[in-house]
Amino acid sequence: MGRMVRKQLNLEEDLDRAMAERARELGISQSQLARLAIERFLESSDREERRAAVERLRSMWAEDDRLGVGSGPEGRTWTREELHDRRNRH
């Protein structure tokens, strides 16, 4: 295995719980589970599966736009805490 690169992601609570439970069932870390899921997605030959995942991402980005989450010309216009507060209110 090559050098690891740290990534950070935000998950909805139900996905976080499901991920933790599945990792426990498999006896692996959540990081390992995330790597396996990403590898599986990238190796998938099922175009429809990938298209559906991209549509889910676009929907999330549209919601971020609706909430006013993003970066302006001066850089990021929100704090992590503000982002979580906005998502929890909507």
pTM: 0.52
Contact present, 49 and 40 (Cβ < 8 Å): no
Signed CA dihedral, 40, 46, 51, 56: sign only: negative
> What per-residue confidence (pLDDT) applies to 59?
82
* In the chain, where the domains are located: 11-43, 47-90
Nearest to 41 by CA among 53, 24, 56: 53
For the chain, 90 residues long, give each residue's pLDDT as a single digit of tens.
Answer: 678 888 888 888 888 999 999 999 989 999 999 999 888 878 776 777 778 878 887 887 777 767 666 655 555 566 667 766 766 665
Task: Report whether 38 contacts 32 (CB < 8 A).
Answer: no
At CB < 8 A and 24+ separation, what contacts does 23-29 make?
Answer: none
